[in-house]
Each structure stands twice: as C-alpha cells, then as structure tokens.
Structure 1
Amino acid sequence: MAFPATMVILPVGIIFILSGLIINVIQAVLFVFVSPISKYCYRKVNKVLTESLWLELICLVDWWAGVKVELYADSQTFQLLGKENALLICNHRSDIDWLIGWVLAQRTGCLGSTVAVMKKEFKYLPVIGWSMWFAEFLFLERNWAKDEKALKSRFKQLEHKPVPFWVALFVEGTRFTHTKLLAAQEFAISRGMTVPKNVLIPRTKGFVTIVQETRTYIPAIYDCTFTVPKGEPSPTLLRIFKGIPSSVKVQIQRHKVEELPETPEGIAQWCTDAFVAKDALLEKYNTTEIFSELELHETRRPKRSIFVVACWSSFLGFLLVKFFQWSSLLSTWKGIAFTVLFMVIVTVVMEVLIHATQAERSKTNLPANLPVQDPIKQRLLNPDTTKPSLII
C-alpha cells in the first residue's frame, strides 16, 4: 500500500540528515588529520562510514518499497562480483539507476568502495553529495579540457585503493528520455551510424581516458544493462518514499580489459559497439519478453541495512530526547517555532535531494535546436509511433 510521501520523508529525513552530518564531520576530521599521514587507513575507515550512511537509502529500497532487482549474469561473472576492481558502464534508464547500482554493490561488498563519475553539481548536495566527495567520486565540469586532466589525476590516486572497488560510468551522459532519443537518432542518421531505439549514443571520451589510465589495475569491465519490466512505471526516489514496490532487470556481462583495443579509436569503437548490443538486447525484450539468456541469480536482501537504521534511530532518538529535556525547547513559543523551522528545513533538504535525482520530463514539443523532422524521416526514426508506448 502506498503511503503519503510526507509521512515518510520527515522522519527518514531527520535520521538521514542528522546521521549524515555526524558522518560528514567525522569524514572531514579524518580527511584533514589522517589522510595526509595514511591514505590507506583513511580509506579503510571511510569505507565503513560511507556504508553506514548509504545503507539507510538501501534499507528504503529493500525493506520499505520492496524494489526487486533481477540480476542476470553467467556463473563466473557472478562469482567474481566484489572480488576484483572493475569499471561498470551502464545505460541510464531510470532516476534511480545509481541507487540500484548501490544495491548491487552492497550485495557484493563493494558499497563503501564504489566511486562514480558524476557532474560537479552533485558534490554540493547536503549530506549525500558531501559523502560522495569524501568517498572520492569523480566530479566533472563537462569541459573536456579540464575534465581530462581531472580524470587522469584522480585515477592515479585510485590505483592504491586497499579493497576491490567499482568505478561506475553512465556513458550516455544523461538519462534516457524520448526527446533525447529523437536527437540521438537524428545524430546517428547524419553520421551513418546504427540508429538506436532504446539507448542513447555513448560519449566515449571519458570512457577512453578511464580505460587508458586504469588498464594496469582494473582488469575487468562490467557491461551493465538496466531495464524496467514492460507495463511497469519507472522507479523513482519519490515512489520509494511512498512505499510503492517495483522491479528492475539488470544484465551484467564481464569483459577482460586486456582484450580491448589499444588505440583510443579502437576503445571508442568498442564502447559504441557495446551500446549497439545493449540496444539489440532491449529491443529483443520489447518484442519477445525475453530479457536475457544468462542465468538469473538470486540476490537476497541483507538485514544489515535494517540493523544500521535501527542503531541510528535509537542513538539519535536518545540524543533528541535528552536535548529536549535539557533545553525545555517545547515549553516556549520560541522553542516550538525553532522545532517547526527545523522540520521545515529537513523537509526542504529532502525535497532538494529528491528533485536532484529526477530527470527532466519529456515534452511533446521538440526543443528549438532539434531539426524539424519530415514525415518520412519520422517514420524511419520511430517505426512504431502509431502504437502506444511507455516512456520511462
């Protein structure tokens, strides 16, 4: 049964923000005083701190909304998950693909050591963005002259991470929408490329740089393909807060980095070909309802996230009760007003976090910079436009 989001956002927000601020302060102290002395110790401790915060969101996914993650992979790949450094390349299908990635990372023991390549605005998000910064996420300005140097510098630092880690990259650079697909199809036709139907055209510069800079210590690429079962709405963070269940299908194919081409052009073409294969996989699912021929593996929901949330709830609840007893905050109008203001701030911050995860909505009217399509080209780009479809 779905619950009003506000009934969940406020209590969850109080726990998440207060626990997150405590963790952020500890991370800052460790970064200033421990990191310069021992990067190894800093990363080991920070992994635990990061997991204790991110597990709160995973608890919502697993135990509140009951999001089901169906994982398809061959047996060898499944056994290696979490036991080796890996670069994950994914199609960006829903608002919470990153959170589904965290769920898979947690299942395999890589949650606190997972990093991702993201746009720089995310590092300014309260609590969660700050934790990503301390976890050594790579934030880009979408200015390649600056981003190339930043990527090369940061990957030199990641070489000596003490535990197996994942680097996640949404190569398309943005979330899939119908409007963006039309633009990608126009571009593909103009360049004589395979016209996509279910993915966008990958932006390969970042991928090429990452592969070149990490070949010596990242042995595998996990080619991940996400999709939502047909007829089901795409999961969002807001739907999770409402407790609305959903499911996601994920296929992971492992490729050895040593088997990739050596030249930048060859690496870029390999990435482009991988997305052509993703598109074919998703198109096959649309027509046959068979998503993957690989083995379906059960990934159990761990109880650790419940334990972490229960510990934080008890600890923060104890502190808040003692604080209200000591301050008599609720015995005066000023104190009541301060408490209400705090709750409003918590709600606003949580709304900001939810809004930051939402992709822009597709619009019926195409943007001004997209060429007007003639009827013949429109049928070429969208041969099934006469049939109703679910845009996610």
Structure 2
Amino acid sequence: MAFPAAVVIVPLGVLFFMSGLVVNLIQAMCYVLIRPLSKNTYRRINREVAELLWLELVWLVDWWAGVKIEIYTDAETFKLMGKEHALVVCNHRSDIDWLVGWILAQRSGCLGSTLAVMKKSSKFLPTGLQRLRDFPRPFWLALFVEGTRFTQAKLLAAQEYASSTGLPIPRNVLIPRTKGFVTAVSHMRSFVPAIYDATVAIPKTSPTPTMLRLFKGQSSVIHVHLKRHVMNDLPETDEAVAQWCRDAFVAKDKLLDRHIAEGTFGEKLQNTGRPVKSLLVVSSWAILLILGTMKVIQWFSLFSSWKGIIFSAIALAVITILMQILIQFSQSERSTPAKVAPSKHKSATESSASRLDKHQNCGALEKGSVTMYDESDLSLVKSVTLYGVEPNALIITRD
C-alpha cells in the first residue's frame, strides 16, 4: 500500500532521528563508563545497541515498503555467508544498494557490527587495512568499485571512454575503478580467504527502488547473485589484479544480459525469509516515542502557549527538511556526474588501464592513503543517523 510522502516522512523522520539520538547517548555512556574497564564487554553491548538502530533500516525495507530481496547463490556460498572474512565486489544499480548490504548483513547475523565508509569521511579515520588482520570476528569489506550509481548518462560516458581506449564496451555496468580494489587485495590477501562477486539487478517487471519509494511504502523486487572466489586464486601483481577486476565486470555484464533476457539469474534461489525482529524493535521504538512525547507535552505544557506550539512546529519542519534533503541526495541523477572520455589521446606508452585509472577518481581506498574504520575508535559515530546518504563501502562483521 502506497502512502503520500508528506504523511509518512514526518513521523518516520522523528522516529529515526530520536531513536538515533538515544542510541548515540547510550553508546557515549558505555564508552565512558564501560570501555575503560573492559573493551570486550563494551563491544558486546555496543553491537547490541547498534543493532537496535540498524534494524529500523531493515524494517523500512522488509516491512514498511515490502521490498523483496531474492538471493541467488550455491548452497556452499550461502552457508559461508557471514562466517568468514570476505572482500565483496558489487555493481551499483539502484539508489538503495547500500541498504541491500544491510539486509544481507542482517540475514547473515552480523548487523550489529556493520559499518559504512562514507565518500568524504575516510580521511578522518584511522589508517591501515592491516588493522583488520587480528579482527576477532568475521567481517565483509564491500566495495562499489564503479564509484557511482548506474544511470544511462553515465553508461553513455563509459561506453564512449571504452570505445576510445579499446576496452570492452559495457552495456549494463560502468567501468570499474580498480585502485581501491587492488589496494584492498594487496593488504588483505594473507588473511581474507574469499571474494564475493555480488551482482544486483532489478527485474523488468519491478519498479526501480528509491528512498522516496521506500518511505511511501511502495514495494519492489531486487535480485542479488553471489559468486564466491578463492582469494589465493587471484594473480599476484597489481596490474593483473586490476585486470581480474575488469574481467569480473565483463562477466557481470554478460550475467546481467542473461538476467534481462530471462528475468532470473538461474542459480538456486536461497530462502532468507523476512525476520520479525525488526518489526518488534520498531514497534517498541514507536511506543517509547509516543509515551515520551506525551510526557514531554505534559511536563512542559508545549501546546498551552504560542511559544510551545511554535517550537514544536519548527522542530517538525526541521526534521521534514532534513529528510527531504537526505532523500534528494540519495537519488541517482543527483550523484557523481558522468565523465566524458578525453578527446585527445596521451602518449602511446601509456596503457589503456593506467589511463582509465587516471581518467576516473579512485574509490574509497587508495594506495598511499589507505583508511579504515576501527570498531573501538568508532563507538560514538558508528550509529549516526545518515539515512539516505550513500556509503562508498561497507564493513560488515559478525560475532
């Protein structure tokens, strides 16, 4: 059932932002009172508290909008999901691909330790992928190596560039930006056993999901294909690893051709269900918010004076504006502009691959400036309410 956007944005915005503030307050108190005594106890509590917030996103997809996410993979890969370190490489098809990562994390049992690397925040984070070597729980590092969301304008620019450099011309994906992937592989090869090649597709019979459609309660269907590769099977040199990534996207392009023709990936469809935990958590948040609001109104007599009424109206207006801004920023057509291939070729000694990486901005991870989250240092910000803002990568960990 669809709802007018104005009817749902305000109450959902209030619920998300207020619960986010409560979660951050609890995390701050735990950081000050518990972490100095026991880091492990603090981490366990922090994971449980963070999950109370992230489950709201799962509820938004699963229950409010009723989006159906179908996972196609073999039984062995499905069994290993969330139980081993893995580097995940994914195409960037829709405005909510990052939310698909949250759903996969929840289905794999690791939602409470999911982190997001934002596009412009990585420079503020602790450095070093090697920090993950001794991480006590299995994690996923998921990279959107295309660097931006798929649109027809960006596809035309990618096709023009591929034609000018002799690269395979893409039809359903953009040309991957390989520097971040190469850096991740070179730093994580010794302790990460697998690469998950994830392909996201929207069936022709289903509307493309967006944040606005989610808030309006409009359903969609998303197909996700997962293929597991053994990390040690990758080549050793950086250039060969970059070529492996480009070849993977050529294969991904063909897989999407098949999906367009058949409406399915053809692999075994795994049953992930629709857990009720997120529904129970959001219902509890809603009840607490209603009771708390009634108490605040009673204590401060907000509606008994013009000052209280004006204050309440301004607060609701600010939340509405913020939600609208976040929804606008999540839209594909407002993301990174398409870049057109240069009209003049550079020297003949410069390879197509190196020109490709110079032509495009590098991804979230870059040689010489590798940045990464450390869970113990992110306790106060890992649950900041950034709804509608697109992560450039995800770090998903499991107990």
TM-score band, normalised by the shorter chain? 0.7 to 0.9
The partner residue of 1:343 within 316, 330, 333 is 316
The partner residue of 1:264 within 223, 238, 252 is 238
Please show how residues 10-25 of structure 1 align to structure 2 within 5 Å: 10-25=10-25
Please show how residues 1-392 of structure 1 align to structure 2 within 5 Å: 1-31=1-31, 39-120=39-120, 139=122, 153-286=127-260, 288-360=261-333
After superposition, the C-alpha distances for 1:270-299 in whole angstroms (9 at most, x for unaligned) are 11111000000111222x315323101111
After superposition, the C-alpha distances for 1:70-101 in whole angstroms (9 at most, x for unaligned) are 11000100111111121111000000000011
Deviation at 1:370, TM superposition (A): 5.5
Deviation at 1:109, TM superposition (A): 0.7
Given that 1:43 and 1:162 are in contact with CA atoms closer than 8 Å, whether structure 2 keeps it comes out as no
SS in 2 for 1:360: helix
Deviation at 1:215, TM superposition (A): 2.0
Given that 1:3 and 1:243 are in contact with CA atoms closer than 8 Å, whether structure 2 keeps it comes out as yes
Given that 1:119 and 1:140 are in contact with CA atoms closer than 8 Å, whether structure 2 keeps it comes out as no
SS in 1 for 2:134: coil
Greater relative contact order structure (CA < 8 Å, 6+ sep) = 2
Give the distance between the partners of 1:296 and 1:367, measured in 2 at CA. Answer: 34
Map of 2:368 onto structure 1: none
Given that 1:176 and 1:200 are in contact with CA atoms closer than 8 Å, whether structure 2 keeps it comes out as yes
Give the distance between the partners of 2:295 and 2:85, measured in 1 at CA. Answer: 45
Deviation at 1:351, TM superposition (A): 1.6
Deviation at 1:333, TM superposition (A): 0.7
After superposition, the C-alpha distances for 1:74-133 in whole angstroms (9 at most, x for unaligned) are 01001111111211110000000000111111011122223344302xx5xxxxxxxxxx
SS in 1 for 2:296: helix
Given that 1:117 and 1:140 are in contact with CA atoms closer than 8 Å, whether structure 2 keeps it comes out as no
SS in 1 for 2:218: coil
Given that 2:51 and 2:112 are in contact with CA atoms closer than 8 Å, whether structure 1 keeps it comes out as yes
1:316 partner amino acid: L
Name the TM-score, length of structure 2 as normaliser: 0.80
Map of 2:370 onto structure 1: none
Give the distance between the partners of 1:206 and 1:274, measured in 2 at CA. Answer: 15
Deviation at 1:206, TM superposition (A): 0.5
Deviation at 1:354, TM superposition (A): 1.5
Identity %: 54
Q: Aligned pair in 2 of structure 1 residues 43, 274: CA closer, same or farther (>3 Å)?
A: farther
Given that 2:161 and 2:340 are in contact with CA atoms closer than 8 Å, whether structure 1 keeps it comes out as no
2:304 partner amino acid: S
SS in 2 for 1:166: strand
Deviation at 1:32, TM superposition (A): 5.6
SS in 2 for 1:203: coil
Give the distance between the partners of 1:371 and 1:316, measured in 2 at CA. Answer: 54
Give the distance between the partners of 2:42 and 2:274, measured in 1 at CA. Answer: 29
Give the distance between the partners of 1:177 and 1:206, measured in 2 at CA. Answer: 22
194-203 or 23-32, which deviates more: 23-32
Given that 2:204 and 2:263 are in contact with CA atoms closer than 8 Å, whether structure 1 keeps it comes out as no
2:255 partner amino acid: L
2:70 partner amino acid: E
Given that 2:193 and 2:230 are in contact with CA atoms closer than 8 Å, whether structure 1 keeps it comes out as yes
Q: Aligned pair in 2 of structure 1 residues 184, 228: CA closer, same or farther (>3 Å)?
A: same
Deviation at 1:17, TM superposition (A): 0.4
Give the distance between the partners of 1:209 and 1:371, measured in 2 at CA. Answer: 26
Give the distance between the partners of 1:305 and 1:348, measured in 2 at CA. Answer: 26
SS in 2 for 1:312: helix
Given that 2:155 and 2:173 are in contact with CA atoms closer than 8 Å, whether structure 1 keeps it comes out as yes
Give the distance between the partners of 2:138 and 2:184, measured in 1 at CA. Answer: 17
Name the TM-score, length of structure 1 as normaliser: 0.81
Aligned residues: 342
Given that 2:16 and 2:56 are in contact with CA atoms closer than 8 Å, whether structure 1 keeps it comes out as yes
Give the distance between the partners of 2:164 and 2:115, measured in 1 at CA. Answer: 35
Calculate the aligned-residue CA RMSD, in Å: 2.3
2:138 partner amino acid: P
1:104 partner amino acid: L
321-330 or 352-361, which deviates more: 352-361
Give the distance between the partners of 2:243 and 2:211, measured in 1 at CA. Answer: 34
Given that 1:44 and 1:162 are in contact with CA atoms closer than 8 Å, whether structure 2 keeps it comes out as no
Given that 2:72 and 2:225 are in contact with CA atoms closer than 8 Å, whether structure 1 keeps it comes out as yes
Deviation at 1:356, TM superposition (A): 2.4
Runs (5+) with no aligned partner, structure 1: 124-138, 142-149, 373-392
Give the distance between the partners of 1:44 and 1:154, measured in 2 at CA. Answer: 24
